[in-house]
Amino acid sequence: MLKTSCLNIPFANPLVLASGILGVTAASMHKIIRDGAGGVTVKSISKAPRTGHPNPTMMGNDTYFLNAVGLSNPGIENGIAELIQFKKICPAPLIGSIFAGTADEFAELAELIAVAPIDILELDLSCPNVGREFGEPFAYSASAIGRITRETKAKVKVPISIKLSPNAWNIAELAKMAEAAGADAITAVNTVSGMAIDVRARRPILHNKQGGVSGPALFPIALKCVYDIYEAVKIPIIGTGGVMTGEDALKMIMAGATLVGVGSAVYYRGADVFGKIVAEMTEIMKQENIGSLDEIRGVAHGIM
Amino acid sequence: MHIPQMLSIKKITDENPFVKTFWFNYNLNSQPGQFVMLWIPGIDQKPFSIAYDDSAEFGLTIFAVGSLSKKLFELRVGDRVGISGPYGTAFSIQNDTHYITVAGGYGAGPLGLLTERLAATTNSTVDFCVGARSADLLLFKDRMAKLPHTTVQVATNDGSAGHTGFITDILSGLIQKSHGKKIILATCGPELMEKKVLDCANKNNVDCEVSIERFMKCGFGVCGQCCVDPLGLRMCMEGPVVNRATANSISEFGNYHRDKSGAKIYY
Ligand SMILES: Cc1cc2nc3c(=O)[nH]c(=O)nc-3n(C[C@H](O)[C@H](O)[C@H](O)COP(=O)(O)OP(=O)(O)OC[C@H]3O[C@@H](n4cnc5c(N)ncnc54)[C@H](O)[C@@H]3O)c2cc1C
Ligand SMILES: Cc1cc2nc3c(=O)[nH]c(=O)nc-3n(C[C@H](O)[C@H](O)[C@H](O)COP(=O)(O)O)c2cc1C
């Protein structure tokens, strides 16, 4: 009932692990598949290893999760080894994820990671937490999105998904730009910029001061982004942001998502949240006589 | 609590010339083997095992090794740090058992707390085994010597106290001596020492609980930094304390761990 095809890749269900939550190692991604996800996204990889920001890099409360990890990762060489290892032990779809400081470097890194057995390559243009190092996220600029997409597409055959930021007021326009430049899919959204302050410490809690908000508070924002993007483009959308329950996942699909990214829900409901969401979706679909997700994809559009 | 709570340091005690315990007036409600995240604003935040917890106050026993711990050693009574937790799994507390706890370094903290709880709430007996380079560095010898049903076993590399050599040298002997009783080996310390303890438990077919430390960013199961091969278990959630079967299933144990970036570092 939940079987989904995205870019001709079969997914047992539409839930994919979002980049940066668990997913550093092959073993951890394999565990997420055993816990019920249809596919996984690796934590974003850069050319050289990075240790990220000092702690605290994340915190959570009932309504939101906030992080500024600073894109720590073991670098492309170690990263590829984990991706190869994952496919050795698990046949489920694997989404690679990379980030870089320039369009040239994105293309170069894409070429390197394309030797790994990834099914889709996500370009993280939208991390809000490394501003001091990389400047404004590329995901705020139509010209940067166009250039990075074109240069990367020219170098690799694997389908690419452009990951966009909900901080951009014109996210649907930007998605359209990515599509025109050759993107095969859109991942929407990354975290929205935010901050937390500790009154007794009299300072921001995150070492990086500002961070990215995810979890329940992000859901209505992400849902609207996916809805708007669906009206603007024909390519599939990986709808991500604040999905906690089967009900949320179905809302994302009704807004137009093909796949549904799940990250912070691991914090709220445990690592086995994927299986829980699958069970909840199945239950609601039975109650509502929904036979397949194709039946309801984008159904919330075109209503008077 | 997954958000640091600012607590004042109530007292600082010297355990040996290089190790201090930092005390806080707070009911942490922790189990032996669990840890907290300790934040010094502007510096960093790292995991520390709970070495004392009597519900009125708790203590963290800390070695000054690097950026965060050295900064902590500069703080004074009344200064505040952020504490979150307690996190992770704990050592089991069982009756009718002979525990052999094997500590190295700050591992004496959580095992000291375990031994106190066993003495206070069970009829079990304990061999509290602790090793160090020399007699002046041994941790919690006196704290443990006061407890009922507890025997302190000591080893030093230079022979200045107890057995000369490694603490793991005396384990088989202690197991033989307790023949017929239910035995649990519990260990926390340098990984290669822990590996020897696990090997000894396997050889003698007795239960074993091992505290496995990995680099931790969040401490509550999200960052994935402390996942171990090949099962992807998170050492902040499914660990740090794991049983013998789980420890045996962790192929990287005693072999390699991952650094802050996620790259493998071999022992
Ligand atoms: C579950 C868990 C429980 C822990 N419990 C305790 C505890 O009770 N008491 C305690 O003191 N620490 C404990 N640690 C270690 C602690 O979290 C820090 O790693 C340690 O204090 C070093 O941090 P730092 O910033 O001071 O040093 P860093 O700047 O990270 O390191 C400086 C140098 O010291 C080396 N180093 C790092 N850690 C150690 C070490 N433990 N021993 C020797 N050299 C080291 C590093 O390789 C580096 O070269 C625990 C770790 C985990 C994962
Ligand atoms: C701790 C953490 C780390 C993240 N790291 C990355 C990353 O490396 N690359 C990336 O594209 N997105 C990263 N994200 C964003 C997520 O992939 C996702 O887009 C966002 O969290 C919204 O989804 P959620 O509410 O389900 O978590 C991270 C999010 C969190 C919470």
CA of B213 from ligand 1 middle (Å) equals 10
> Rounded CA gap, B173 and B155, in Å?
14
Residue A151 one-letter amino acid = E
Contacts of A23 in chain B (CB under 8 A): 224
Q: What percent of chain A has pLDDT over 70?
A: 100
Protein residue whose Cα sits closest to atom 28 of ligand 1: B66
Q: Are B42 and A207 a contacting pair at CB < 8 A? A: yes
What's the pLDDT at A86?
A: 98
What's the pLDDT at B143?
A: 95
Task: For A253-303, write each residue's pLDDT tens digit.
Answer: 999 999 999 999 999 999 999 999 999 999 999 999 999 999 999 999 987
What's the pLDDT at A129?
A: 78
CATH code of the domain containing B137: 3.40.50.80
Neighbours of A99 (CB within 10 A): 26
Chosen from B1, B45, B81, B223 to mutate, greatest number of chain A CBs within 10 A: B223
Q: What's the gap in Å between the CA of A304 and the closest CA on chain B?
A: 42
* Paired tokens of A218: 């992000």
Task: For A16-55, write each residue's pLDDT tens digit.
Answer: 999 999 999 999 999 999 999 999 999 999 999 999 999 9
> Rounded CA gap, A194 and A303, in Å?
33
What's the pLDDT at B135?
A: 93
Helices then strands, each counted (H, E), chain A: 10, 16
Residue B214 one-letter amino acid = R
What's the pLDDT at B180?
A: 85
What's the pLDDT at B1?
A: 57
Q: Are A22 and B263 a contacting pair at CB < 8 A? A: no
**Final residue belonging to a domain, choices B163, B190, B211:** B211
> Rounded CA gap, B229 and A236, in Å?
34
Residues annotated within the binding site of B are 218, 223, 226, 236
Q: Which helix (H) or strand (E) holds A154?
A: helix A142-155
Q: Residue A43's closest CA among A28, A62, A22, A66?
A: A22
Contacts of B238 in chain A (CB under 8 A): none
Mean pLDDT, residues A80-90: 97
Phi then psi dihedrals of residue A273, to 5 deg: -60, -30
Annotated domain spans of chain A: 4-49+72-193+214-301
Q: What percent of chain A has pLDDT over 90?
A: 93
Q: Are A201 and B217 a contacting pair at CB < 8 A? A: no
> Rounded CA gap, B156 and A290, in Å?
70
Which residue do the tokens 């565990």 mark?
A: A31
DSSP class per residue in chain B: --S-EEEE--EEEEEETTEEEEEE-S-----TT-EEEEEETTTEEEEEE--EE-SS-EEEEEE--SHHHHHHHH--TT-EEEEEEEES------SSEEEEEEEEGGGHHHHHHHHHHHHHH-S-EEEEEEEESSGGG--SHHHHHTSTTEEEEEEETTSSSSEES-GGGGHHHHHHHTTTSEEEEEEES-HHHHHHHHHHHHHHT-EEEEE-----SSSSSSS-TTEETTTTEETTTT-SEEEHHHHHH-TTTTTEEE-TTS-EEE-
Q: Does residue A167's CB lie within 6 angstroms of at least one atom of ligand 2? A: no
Residues B79 and B113 placed together within one structural domain of the fold: no
Q: Which of ligand 2's atoms lies nearest the C-alpha of A240? A: 23
Q: Where does residue B165 fall: left (phi above 0), alpha (psi -120 to 50 degrees), or beta otherwise?
A: left
Residues B138 and B248 placed together within one structural domain of the fold: no
Taking CA–CA distances from B257, the nearest residue in chain A reads A25
Q: Given A23, A89, A200, which is nearest B224 (Cβ)?
A: A23
Residues B95 and B146 placed together within one structural domain of the fold: yes
- What are the residues whose beta carbons fall under 8 Å from the beta carbon of B59, sequence distance 6 or more? B13, B21, B22, B23, B24, B50, B51, B52, B53
pLDDT tens over chain B, length 267 residues: 589 999 999 999 999 889 999 999 999 999 999 999 999 999 999 999 999 999 999 999 999 999 999 999 999 999 999 999 999 999 999 999 999 999 999 999 999 999 999 999 999 999 999 999 999 999 999 999 999 999 999 999 999 999 999 999 999 999 999 888 999 999 999 999 999 999 999 999 999 999 999 999 999 999 999 999 999 999 999 999 999 999 999 999 999 999 999 999 999
> Rounded CA gap, B20 and B126, in Å?
25
Contacts of A49 in chain B (CB under 8 A): 261-263
Whether the CB of B50 is below 8 Å from some CB of chain A: the reply is: no
Query: Residues near ligand 1 with C-beta < 6 Å?
Result: B 35, 44, 46-49, 61-63, 65-70, 106, 109, 213, 216, 240
Whether the CB of B66 is below 8 Å from some CB of chain A: the reply is: no
Residues B186 and B121 placed together within one structural domain of the fold: yes
What's the pLDDT at B45?
A: 98
CA of A221 from ligand 1 middle (Å) equals 40
| A218-to-A223, B48, B54, B136, B230 alpha-carbon distances in Å | 9, 32, 41, 55, 33
Catalytic residue positions of A, numbered: 127
Please classify residue B205 by burial: count the beta carbons closer than 10 Å to its beta carbon, then call 0-12 exposed, 13-18 middle and 19+ buried: exposed
Task: For A219-229, write each residue's pLDDT tens digit.
Answer: 999 999 999 99
> Rounded CA gap, B161 and B163, in Å?
7
> Rounded CA gap, A149 and A174, in Å?
12
> Rounded CA gap, A214 and A191, in Å?
5
Q: Are A78 and B224 a contacting pair at CB < 8 A? A: no
Protein residue whose Cα sits closest to atom 26 of ligand 2: A263
Q: Residue B167's closest CA among B195, B202, B127, B132?
A: B132
Q: Report the interhelical angle of A246-255 vs A273-287 (nearest 10°).
A: 70
Residues B27 and B59 placed together within one structural domain of the fold: yes
CA of A41 from ligand 2 middle (Å) equals 10
CATH for A4-49+72-193+214-301 is 3.20.20.70
Q: Which residues pair with A204 in a beta bridge?
A: A197
Which residue do the tokens 């931790």 mark?
A: B216
Phi then psi dihedrals of residue B205, to 5 deg: 50, 55
Protein residue whose Cα sits closest to atom 29 of ligand 2: A20
* Paired tokens of A261: 């990214």
Task: For A185-199, write each residue's pLDDT tens digit.
Answer: 999 999 999 999 999
Residues B113 and B63 placed together within one structural domain of the fold: no
Q: What's the gap in Å between the CA of A193 and the closest CA on chain B?
A: 19
Residues B204 and B116 placed together within one structural domain of the fold: yes
Residue A302 one-letter amino acid = G
| Residue B230: cis peptide before it, omega within 30 degrees of 0 | yes
What's the pLDDT at A122?
A: 98
CA dihedral B215, B218, B224, B228 (to 10 degrees): 40
Q: Are B262 and A22 a contacting pair at CB < 8 A? A: no
CA of A127 from ligand 2 middle (Å) equals 8
Q: Given A78, A264, A267, which is nearest B262 (Cβ)?
A: A78
Residues B147 and B51 placed together within one structural domain of the fold: no
- A-facing residues of B in 159-188 (CB < 8 A) are none
**Final residue belonging to a domain, choices B87, B103, B138:** B87
> Rounded CA gap, B156 and A234, in Å?
71
Whether the CB of B6 is below 8 Å from some CB of chain A: the reply is: yes
Task: For A114-169, write each residue's pLDDT tens digit.
Answer: 999 999 999 999 887 777 777 788 889 999 999 999 999 999 999 999 999 999 99
CA of A66 from ligand 2 middle (Å) equals 10
Total count of domains within chain B:
3
Residues B192 and B115 placed together within one structural domain of the fold: yes
Residues B26 and B42 placed together within one structural domain of the fold: yes
Q: Does residue A70's CB lie within 6 angstroms of at least one atom of ligand 2? A: no
In degrees, to the nearest 5, what angle opens at C-alpha A287 toward C-alphas A282 and A288?
Answer: 95
What's the pLDDT at B22?
A: 98
- What are the residues whose beta carbons fall under 8 Å from the beta carbon of B67, sequence distance 6 or more? B43, B44
Look up the domain containing B204 and give its range. Answer: 91-211
Q: Are A72 and B261 a contacting pair at CB < 8 A? A: yes
Q: Residue B27's closest CA among B7, B42, B12?
A: B7
CATH code of the domain containing B60: 2.40.30.10
Q: Residue A149's closest CA among A139, A162, A158?
A: A162
> Rounded CA gap, B149 and B33, in Å?
21
CA of B72 from ligand 1 middle (Å) equals 12
> Rounded CA gap, B194 and B218, in Å?
24
* Paired tokens of B154: 């000591």
Whether the CB of B260 is below 8 Å from some CB of chain A: the reply is: yes
Residues B19 and B66 placed together within one structural domain of the fold: yes
Residues B72 and B127 placed together within one structural domain of the fold: no
Q: Are A25 and B259 a contacting pair at CB < 8 A? A: no
